[in-house]
Structure 1
Amino acid sequence: MPSWNTKLTELRGHLVELYPEKEDGRMMVEMAGLPPGSIAFSDKATSNWHQILREANKRRKVTDLVQLAIQDYPEREELARLFTEVEEAEPLTSAAALNSVLEMETLKTLPKKIEEDFPDLSTKTLRENLADEIHTLDSRRAEHTRGKIDPADYRRIVEGVNRELAEKLRTSGLGLDRPALAPAAPQRGEHRAFDILVPNRKGLEKVIKSDDLIDILGWVQGAMEQSKTVCKIETSAGESGTGFLLGGGLLMTNNHVIPDAATAAQTRLTFNYKTDKDNNVLQESHYRLDPSVFVTSHEDELDYTVVKVADDAQTPLDSWGRVRLEDFFDPLLHEKVTVIQHPRGNYMKMALPDDVISIWGKYLFYTTDTREGSSGSPVFNKHWKVVALHHAGKNEESYEGGLQIDADGTIAPANRGVLIKHILEDLKKRNFLLPT
């Protein structure tokens, strides 16, 4: 499990401030896709958020929580910063602050050390009390680091917690004591003593721009699961495209792939149109569309179509899974996205993740590769959340050498997708609710 770090401590402080109520935490847990039963909620917001972030960190969902908070509080610039930093290696820090962090890490091992050193004694209450005091101190240190507590107040807090820790150890009957915590920072009158910047223990490795490090098994498993939802589309006019399954047996693709109900009635879908690692062709399954449920937005608007798929009793649609569309996973510049597609109507391919180069209006621009026939493909972030519906692209050899990617008129080779959040807003305006 990824270890706790100072970024998580800072994030915990923000979330406690923004979502202090127990029900707020439960809502965030549900929206981030965490199992509610894994959190033992109490009346203490700090305790709740510490548990939530530990569980989210274990499940690689911390950035999902940050993204949710950004949606609610876009004015909080520190959340946007934490979105890109929360999984990164620590930056340079002051030597004095580093000493405090290292001492803090040692202090956090105290309850465990007591348990190991006194296996025959009941130390549970003592360990829980110590953990509470250490947690309080860690939270105050994070607030001091962010400038929310001035140095004089912070020193008083440190001294008070030190006294509480020493008293609990003294009265435990175990004959224990501990050294005082290192001061927050060297002081000289009203001025800080000379300090230097040094790399901390985790700062010797660097993440450039956004964090592209991923858990191998989780990412590959996500690719396999999501690829099952993607299908090849063939119209009666011989046009091909790509689509993907939503809940309730619905298919999403582009309007310019399936523009109307009449076209839908004459369209065929092919699932599992793939080859294995030895280039053997897998067993495919075919379906027709049921245009009795059909909603679309013109190519010049949001360029999407949602249409029902006629189920097959022999191979039920449920066997392919579904994509859950959510409107709070906004992509960021330099984030990596990938596209699962049927280029030129051929066997399924997955483009290796590449950069988001612009977010402008209703569109996402990225350098991830696609070809003709990829229209209607889902654009995934590294957590396998659909952030856009692919629909267009131009490279250096295209007319004008690319697409306009911003309001300044910049032209660049790029692929373009319609942001999912705008599609969901449009469906809501039409009173068309996607099954959950």
Structure 2
Amino acid sequence: MSITPQDLGSGTLDQSIQRLRARKDTCQKSIQNIARGNGRALESDQRKLKAELRQNALAEVEVDESERFLMLTPRLGQEAKIDERDNILSGEFLEIGILTARAVCHISRGLETGTGFLVGNGIVVTNYHVIKDKAEAKTAMFEFLFDDNRIGTPRSTEVYVADTDHFFWADEALDICFLGLQVVTDINIFGWIPLLREEGKALIGDATNIIQHPDGEKKRIVVHESVFTLVDNGTDADAFCWYSGDTNPGSSGSPVLNNRWEVLAVHHKAVPDTDVNGHVLDVNGKKISKERFAENNAQVHWLANEGIRVSRIVGALEAKVFDNPQYSTVRDDLLALWADPMCTQRARRASYDGMGKQL
């Protein structure tokens, strides 16, 4: 008997498969263009303009050294680019990545695992299919610093539980869940990763980085062979985007970031290739039996990863009408925090200072 998407252990995939199946030819064309160094040929003029305007604005901010705490050096290596993606990065790329990763946590509910990350003010975001309601939130543990730390002084993980009285918002259509944590210590020592509403943070072919806890393991980071593949504005899939990079069950809720370590999307599904009858296909386009899948599940042909776009998440959160005044206050504080031009620098400074306190 052939396997179906439900056998892959990723929950319901029907809508994700339908979205990507309708764009399969475009996605494959995008991958081919990216391989030739010409991914942006599929981008709209409007999105390219937004990216250019955003880059120019960031470059102006970075000219002022007093405002440049842990900001990446702009336009490094432009004269030596081989294709449209600049692979020469500042050494700060590694430093900022370390600070950013501190805000990412491992989520567990019994045998179920996922990933989440702080977005400010003791608020974690993950997927709806990881935590869908307050009852599930109250049975979850949020573990920070769940890392390999074999260098230097061994470091203990720090575990928090949910505080749904402080804040809780779940949206099934977006597959998003925001919730507060019981702040028994200064949780800002981990920094946070702001959700920046403006578009233009990545174009087709740009590198993506995914910080995750796949299969419930210690923190893992994808920075190789991972690129922004497809986006489809103004359609039924407007809230989503697609990218490559390795993920596994447990990666749900991971931040998908650009090379400036800004969040592009919240990862929620790896989408397999299927035939018209819903059978999962292998890399050769053949159906996979349950026996063969049990022997080697790497044979599945994964079309792409799908994430929820940050710009759409922020828009939905802003539009949400809360009956609870406390929730409205927390939401408004979050939106104000993310709108602050210095929010990213403040987040990195908090993580940097927190790291010093924990050494």
TM-score, normalisation: structure 1: 0.51
Which of 250, 266, 271 is the matching residue for 1:389? Answer: 266
Larger RCO (CA under 8 A, 6+ residues apart): 2
| Per-residue deviation, residues 66-111 of structure 1 (Å, max 9, x unmatched) | xxxxxxxxxxxxxxxxxxxx6664xxxxxxxxxxxxxxxxxxxxxx
- Give the alignment partner of residue 243 of structure 1, picking from 106, 113, 116: 116
Match of 1:287 in 2: 160
Q: Is the 8 A contact 2:76 2:89 kept in 1?
A: no
2:82 maps to which of 207, 210, 214: 207
Q: 1:328 maps to which residue?
A: 198
Asked whether the equivalents of residues 247 and 434 of structure 1 are also in contact (C-alpha less than 8 Å), the reply is no
In structure 2, the residue matched to 1:362 is 239
Q: State the alpha-carbon separation in 2 of the partners of residues 33 and 266 from structure 1.
A: 43
CA distance in 2, matches of 1:434, 1:303: 22
- Does the alignment pair 1:399 with 2:272? no
What's the CA shift for 1:263? 0.7
Tell whether 2:303 aligns with 1:413: yes
| Structure 2 residue 152 is matched with structure 1 residue 275 | no
Q: In the alignment, which residue of structure 2 is the partner of 1:5? A: none
How far does residue 219 in structure 1 lie from its aligned partner after superposition? 0.7
Q: Distance in 1 between matches of 2:73 and 2:332?
A: 26
CA-CA distance at 1:284 after TM superposition: 0.6
- Larger Cα-atom Rg: 1
Mark the CA change 1:419 to 1:33 in structure 2 (over 3 Å): closer, same or farther. farther
Identity of aligned residues (%): 24
Residue type of the alignment partner of 1:207: I
SS of the residue corresponding to residue 208 of structure 2 reads strand
- Counterparts of 1:61 and 1:342 in 2: how far apart (Å)? 29
CA 1:416–1:312: 2 relative to 1, 3 Å:
same
Q: 1:32 to 1:250 in 2, by over 3 A?
A: farther
Cα distance change of structure 1 residues 291 and 367 upon mapping to structure 2, 3 Å threshold: same
For residues 396-421 of structure 1, give each alpha carbon's deviation from its aligned partner in whole angstroms, at most 9, with x where no partner exists: 6982569xxxxxxxx96211111100
Cα deviation, residue 32, structure 1: 7.7
**Is the CA contact (8 Å cut-off) linking 2:272 and 2:281 kept in structure 1?**
no
Q: Contact 1:227–1:340 at 8 Å: present in 2 too? A: yes
Are the equivalent residues in 2 in contact too, given 1:394–1:401 (CA < 8 A)? no
Q: Distance in 1 between matches of 2:221 and 2:318?
A: 30
Task: Specify the alignment match of 1:223 in structure 2.
Answer: 97
Conservation of the 8 A alpha-carbon contact between 1:241 and 1:345: yes
Matched, 1:256 2:129: yes
The one-letter code of the counterpart of 2:109 is: T
Hey, what's the Cα distance between the residues in 2 that align with 1:349 and 1:308? 24
Q: CA deviation at 1:307?
A: 0.3
* Aligned residues of 1:401 and 1:413 also touching (Cα < 8 A): no
Cα separation, partners in 2 of 1:401 and 1:255, compared to 1, 3 Å: farther
Establish whether residue 304 from structure 1 lines up as the match of residue 176 from structure 2: yes
CA distance 1:279–1:369, change in 2 (3 Å)? farther
Q: Name the counterpart of 2:188.
A: 318
Output the amino acid matched with 1:224.
Answer: I
5+ residue gaps, structure 2, are: 1-48, 233-237, 284-300, 322-330, 338-359
For residues 30-429 of structure 1, the aligned pairs below 5 Å read 34=62, 60=72, 89=78, 202=79, 205-216=80-91, 218-236=92-110, 238-277=111-150, 282-292=155-165, 293-298=167-172, 301-313=173-185, 316-330=186-200, 331-353=202-224, 354-360=226-232, 361-395=238-272, 399-400=280-281, 413-429=303-319
The CA deviation at 1:214 is 0.8
**C-alpha deviation, 1:35, in angstroms:** 8.4
Task: Tell me the distance in 1 between the aligned counterparts of 2:81 and 2:113.
Answer: 43
Q: 1:19-71 deviations in whole A, cap 9, x for unaligned?
A: xxxxxx9xx57x986587859xxxxxxxxxxxxxxx89x95465xxxxxxxxx
Kept in 2, the 8 Å contact 1:226–1:384? The answer is yes
1:297 to 1:32, Cα distance in 2 relative to 1, 3 A: farther
Query: Could you tell me the TM-score, scaled by structure 2's length?
Result: 0.61
Change (3 A) 1:267 1:412: closer
- In structure 2, C-alpha distance between the alignment counterparts of 1:287 and 1:343, rounded to whole Å: 20
Please tell me whether the aligned partners of residues 72 and 93 of structure 2 are also in contact (alpha carbons under 8 angstroms): no
Q: Return structure 1 stretches of 4+ with deviation > 6 angstroms.
A: none
RMSD between superposed Cα atoms in Å:
3.4
Post-superposition offset of 1:213: 1.7
Q: Decide whether the 8 Å contact of 1:340 with 1:378 is kept in 2.
A: yes
C-alpha displacement of 1:234: 0.7
> Is the 1:32–1:61 Cα contact (8 Å) retained in structure 2?
no
Q: Is the 8 A contact 2:210 2:221 kept in 1?
A: yes
> Does the C-alpha gap of structure 1 residues 261 and 417 become closer, same or farther in structure 2, counting only changes over 3 Å?
same
Structure 1 CA distance for aligned equivalents of residues 306 and 273 of structure 2: 15
C-alpha displacement of 1:318: 1.4
Gaps of 5+ in 1: 1-13, 19-24, 40-54, 63-85, 90-201, 403-410
Contact 1:289–1:309 (Cα < 8 Å) also in 2:
yes
CA distance in 1, matches of 2:207, 2:125: 22
